[in-house]
Structure 1
């Protein structure tokens, strides 16, 4: 079977029929008065998995995390950790730790005192605390800042102190609520890889809440996309991007073009789709949608080629006019308006400093794509 996207590692317990989930949400509902934040949700997370809860504000992702941490109790349903029902167990007795977006460091304490605070509260011997703190400082590369106060650190350094404090107690599960939200773009991108390396080194289960698609795609082994308290799809980053399960997921993750239409003709696995606005599309894989089915053909901008000359041969060649251009350095994004008025996004990688086929606003342009480049959605 051909894989979707690059393989990051062989770790994939969710594909093993005998693998037992480490964290389970079973028909969990959480209501706040008349508002339902989580609606009859079921979800399984495996040991040593880096799992992301992704969704817009108000979708229920932080509520799920808080219920797992013990700060909220489900209205109904069960939450299991390593087979144990967590209902009624207070936060401080759960083998989980939570890192908040604000970091919540004690301003009057040094870096090493912040990291060792939870260990001291647990009654650990001072010599053992010193050893563990030194180990954590080395792990997050902050040994030389041990005596500094939080206000003497950069945002990225404070983030690492909070992370070291969270893992110092060696929880079974680390919960991260928008952990990189306070960092600037470049530092956020660097820290994403640091978190991935740290998770691999420690061998812990990480559950991260984020509204940043790129962040979830970069760090997570699997992503659960939430909307209005319900799970819309759970899959690897490559599967979510290349094979979205619905129009909502396709539209939520990354940029995409959608052509509404009907399956006019089936040809084995392939089909001809007659778009509602006059465009005919050939696709190599129409799934199980029979002729006459209302479908959406979805295709990512990078799968579409733009040219000033009409390509020879091929099924999916459409004529239009350059409506807008965005130069982003590494790539250029074209908005091409078709004759029927629909605007299609296409992106082109700037592999060289110049271009052999320059296109400008209002130029005639042709877009084309392979018949296996898109996905047919029925819901």
Structure 2
């Protein structure tokens, strides 16, 4: 499904869209102290969360963290043990799934194998008793939307994985729900098609003006499509923020480690003043300085989190003004095309540091290789201090 040539750029829209920052904004979806237990197991543990109209929101976390259970409660397939879920101000308690203005696209797509593409898309409309002329017009509209007009009479087994995914999407959208729920919708697609479809989903969501809620364990997918992300673990919300905030300002070690790659330097604060914190890290055999306004006392145990792409590496000694210098030996190299990842053992320690370098040129006069002795450093504002 190629992007439309004349489509508008989403940048201006997404940059200005932040209703969660407006104290007067009324959320479309509200979870209030929601708990869900299955016997002795607590799948969702006291979750309170607001999702706004036209927001593309992601629930992100590992398997078993409660994200799908939270979505299923919104859809009506599960009932909260306690707490309240409202949609457009209406309490959803006791409202059956087919009476809720939401629709769900399942990971398996759940297409009817004996029906054609058009019949699959029309199924929900037929169940609702929509007049035939109106139903045919809606199916035609959905086929055009997902660019499957030539495949209307085919059966699911005659389609590719990407085409089946689009049929499931069209069927979910046909009833024009207020909220579309997407449960790991791209998991069955290959990497390239998945990446293409992520941008198509963003475009489609803006075109339709709907609220999308996606459940995924894929950090890159959530970072790409979502306006905001809720990171979950053991049934609890750990952090809710924009992708940039989640990546650059994780609020704990779990989020820092779960989202992308990270170097964590355990250490003890030696001083904190003037917006700079100094810490001693025995595991790295070094002292570091980092920019932070956190109220920390000498002796506090912390971790300094530094993303691999913010580390600098060279075969030559760093400039005299460089901060946080280290020396090490290259233990392993992964060439990924656009990036090269280096695993470097810090001199005199067992600490392994991960460094990512953008391959901005096609060749280097002297590329860094295995067993090379190298110099590392990073800026004071490159890292984030974490206390938990």
Q: Same fold (TM over 0.5)?
A: yes
Match of 2:323 among 298, 315, 318: 315
8 Å contact from structure 1 (residues 307, 357) kept in 2: no
Match of 1:291 among 290, 298, 316: 298
* Match in the other structure for 2:358: 349
Task: Specify the SS of the correspondent of 1:9.
Answer: helix
**1:291 Cα deviation after fit:** 2.8
* Match in the other structure for 1:326: 334
Task: Specify the SS of the correspondent of 1:133.
Answer: helix
**1:357 Cα deviation after fit:** 3.8
Mapped partners of 2:83, 2:252: distance in 1: 26
**1:286 Cα deviation after fit:** 4.7
In structure 1, the gaps of 5 or more residues are 1-5
Count of aligned pairs: 374
Question: What whole-Å deviation, never above 9, does each CA across 1:24-59 have from its counterpart, x for those lacking one?
Answer: 111111000111101111111111100000000000
The answer to whether residue 51 in structure 2 is matched with residue 45 in structure 1 is: yes
Aligned residue runs from structure 1 range 127-166, under 5 A? 127-166=133-172
* Root-mean-square deviation over aligned CA pairs: 1.1
Aligned residue runs from structure 1 range 150-299, under 5 A? 150-277=156-283, 278-299=285-306
* Match in the other structure for 1:368: 377
Task: Specify the SS of the correspondent of 1:372.
Answer: helix
More deviation in 233-242 or 263-272? 263-272
Mapped partners of 2:310, 2:330: distance in 1: 17
* Match in the other structure for 2:312: 305
Mapped partners of 2:259, 2:200: distance in 1: 23
Mapped partners of 1:237, 1:289: distance in 2: 27
* Match in the other structure for 1:338: 346
* Match in the other structure for 2:97: 91
* Match in the other structure for 1:3: none
Mapped partners of 1:274, 1:344: distance in 2: 17
User: How high is the TM-score relative to the length of structure 1?
Assistant: 0.97
Mapped partners of 1:124, 1:300: distance in 2: 53
* Match in the other structure for 1:57: 63
Mapped partners of 2:333, 2:120: distance in 1: 49
Change (3 A) 1:24 1:160: same
In structure 2, the gaps of 5 or more residues are 1-10
